[in-house]
Amino acid sequence: MSKTHDLVVIGSGIAGLSAARQALESGLSTLTLESLLYGGLVTNINELDGEIQGSGIDLASSLMMKVRKLGAEHLPAGATSMTAEGEDLVVHSDTGAHRASAVIIASGARLRRLGVPGESEFEDKGVSHCADCDGPYYQDRDVVVVGGGDSALQEALVLSAYAKRVHLLHRGEHFRARRHFTERILGSSNISVQWRTRVEAVLGGDAVQAVRVRNLDSEAVDEIACAGFFAYVGLEPACGFVPDAVLRDRDGALLTDAGLRTAMPGVFAAGAVRSGYGGLLTGAVAEGRAAAKSALAMIRS
């Protein structure tokens, strides 16, 4: 099989799109692989908070258009495995095999599931992961949000514009979120915070009807009637296709050196799939571009 591209970028989130843009601007023929919608988790955010302003979907759309205009080839396919053959790398996907000199893994992360009964059974039947997408469905109804970080509080605030009441459940005694999110949550008239609370099951018939919870101090069990359930309890790296030769940290994120090189020659990692990623959009952009520059230097050395 002859080499098809200089570079394959796995993932079309912000890090992946930034890597592809940098590579294409540097003259590398580039293939991007993405089995889901481009943009990654940022497309769920209606109003970005930080140095990059606007909506997540607008940011992702702008980057995707630039990458396509620069001549990237894009396949709507997921990577299934990756092997080294001689001096080249071969990425296997749903559509075939793709040989390149270098690979950038920017497959991001997925929302971690609670793993409680009913969570999978009621997926898309009241269990949701995008407040901006699904909030209007819960107009004047009660919803439950689980988590204590920025994402949970942001999504609770979005839902509060639609829902009759938002029940925000957190296992801890304090939020981990930034102060301005905490202040807005505690000042909201229709967000009810329940501390030291653990979800034990999502209940319903044809759709979500309630959530069973346990107070971690009193051990009292209760049910909260609701029509929607949103859990934001962290992320897990999406890298099941990556061979064991690429070392990981204890959370499963890929280990890299300062040049974003992994332990597998010719393979780089950027963004939420990488151990040490800071979590900010500006970091995703910077890491994507840095990984592409490292790949360029390797290819042209």
pLDDT tens digits for the chain (301 residues)?
Answer: 556 899 999 998 889 999 999 999 999 999 999 887 766 666 555 555 555 655 657 777 788 889 899 998 999 999 999 999 988 999 999 888 999 999 999 999 888 889 999 999 999 999 998 888 899 999 999 999 999 998 899 999 999 999 999 999 999 999 998 899 999 999 999 999 999 999 999 999 999 999 999 999 999 999 999 999 999 998 889 999 999 989 999 999 999 999 999 999 999 999 999 999 987 888 889 999 999 999 999 999 8
100 found inside a domain: yes
Q: What does the alpha-carbon distance between residue 259 and residue 291 come to, in Å, rounded to a whole number?
A: 7
Distances 217 to 30, 195, 201, 256 between C-alpha atoms, Å: 54, 10, 18, 41
pTM of the predicted model as reported, rounded to 2 decimal places:
0.75
Contacts of 197 (CB under 8 A, 6+ apart): 169, 170, 171, 213, 214, 215, 216
120 found inside a domain: no
Question: Which residue segment(s) compose the domain that 169 sits in?
Answer: 127-231
Decide which of 190, 209, 231 is a domain's last residue: 231
How many domains does the chain contain in total? 2
118 found inside a domain: no
Query: What's the CATH number where 257 sits?
Result: 3.50.50.60
Q: Residue 189 corresponds to which tokens in the numbers above?
A: 């008239």
- 25, with CB counted inside 10 A (0-12, 13-18, 19+), is middle
Distances 246 to 10, 238, 242, 256 between C-alpha atoms, Å: 15, 14, 7, 9
Q: What does the alpha-carbon distance between residue 211 and residue 8 come to, in Å, rounded to a whole number?
A: 43
SS3 at position 65: helix
Decide which of 214, 231, 248 is a domain's last residue: 231
Decide which of 231, 247, 270 is a domain's last residue: 231
Same structural domain, 273 and 186: no
243 found inside a domain: yes
